[in-house]
Amino acid sequence: MFGSGSKDKSTTSATGLSAEKDGVATTVIAKGTTIEGKFECSENVRLDGVIQGEVKVDKRFVMGEGSFVQGNIHARDAAVKGKVKGDVHVREALHLMETAVIEGNITAKTMIVDEGARYNGTCRIGDTSAVISNTKN
């Protein structure tokens, strides 16, 4: 009655990044929004704003261009176009896209780095389950 019949629930923005995966709901933190303190979410998260504090996402964490996190990030998998000042711990795949800037250490099972992406810190890729499980506390 109110729709066009299409049930597209993805939260793809102009950057082409979608935090939705497997039809799971997404929490969107819009541009102009700042969160201070520890942020935790059991679902997918799309960040276009700023988080100043630790980030824990049980599923997919997507950072759009212009987004910023000052603090450590813990997620199942992540795609980054924004800037991070802190350590990034990803249990599965981390994708640093062309505008990504990470100032901190990276731990991930797999990682893709697009041309133009930058990171400054140590990088540990492979079977990192012991390292990541110690950071969940």
Query: pLDDT tens digits for 37-63?
Result: 999 999 999 999 999 999 999 999 999
Please name which of 127, 133, 124 lies closest in space to residue 104, comparing C-alpha atoms.
124
Q: How confident is the model at residue 5 (pLDDT cuts 50, 70, 90)?
A: very low
pLDDT value, residue 60 = 97
CA dihedral 66, 88, 72, 79 (to 10 degrees): 30
- Grouping H, G, I as helix, E, B as strand and the rest as coil, residue 129 is helix
pLDDT value, residue 13 = 39
Domain regions of the chain by residue span: 26-134
pTM of the model: 0.79
